[in-house]
Amino acid sequence: MPTEPQVDAPLIVASLLILSILGSSAALWFRHIQRPRDLIDQPGVPAWSIGWVNFGIFICAMIISVFLVQNFAAGLFFAAPSENDAPLELTPWLAVLAVLLLQLPMLAVFYGARRFYPGHYASRLNNVQLSCFAAFRQAIPAFLMFLPVIWIASLVSTSLLNALEAAGVIEAFAPQELITLFQEGGDPLAIGLLVLMAVVLAPIVEEIIFRGCIYRFLKSQTTRVPAQVLSGCVFSMMHANLMSFVPLVIVGVLLARVYEKSGNLMVSMWFHACFNAFSLLMLFITSMSDNIPQ
Of 30, 26, 238, the closest CA to residue 144 belongs to 26
What's the whole-model pTM score? Answer: 0.91
User: pLDDT tier at 175 (50, 70, 90 boundaries)?
Assistant: low
What does residue 150 show for φ and ψ, rounded to 5 degrees?
A: -65, -40
Rounded CA separation 48/42 (Å): 18
**Amino acid sitting at position 56:** G
User: pLDDT tier at 84 (50, 70, 90 boundaries)?
Assistant: low
Over the chain, what is the mean pLDDT? Answer: 87
What pLDDT is attached to residue 5? 57
Q: Which residue has the higher pLDDT, 5 or 34?
A: 34
Q: What is the dihedral of CA 266, 246, 157, 168, to 10 degrees?
A: -150
Rounded CA separation 235/177 (Å): 19
Contact 130, 139 (CB under 8 A): no
Rounded CA separation 236/106 (Å): 17
Cα 56 to chain centroid, rounded: 23
The pLDDT > 70 percentage for the chain reads 87
Q: Residue 263 pLDDT > 50, yes or no?
A: yes
Q: Residue 27 pLDDT > 60, yes or no?
A: yes
What pLDDT is attached to residue 188? 85
Of 183, 179, 226, 234, the closest CA to residue 210 belongs to 234
pLDDT in tens, 206-227: 999 999 999 999 999 999 999 9
Domain ranges of the chain: 13-29+128-287
b/e 276-291 (16+ beta carbons within 10 angstroms → b): bbbebebeebbeebee
What pLDDT is attached to residue 82? 55
User: pLDDT tier at 4 (50, 70, 90 boundaries)?
Assistant: low
Length of the chain: 294
pLDDT in tens, 95-107: 899 899 999 999 9
**Amino acid sitting at position 3:** T
Of 266, 225, 261, the closest CA to residue 42 belongs to 261
What pLDDT is attached to residue 42? 66
Rounded CA separation 253/248 (Å): 8
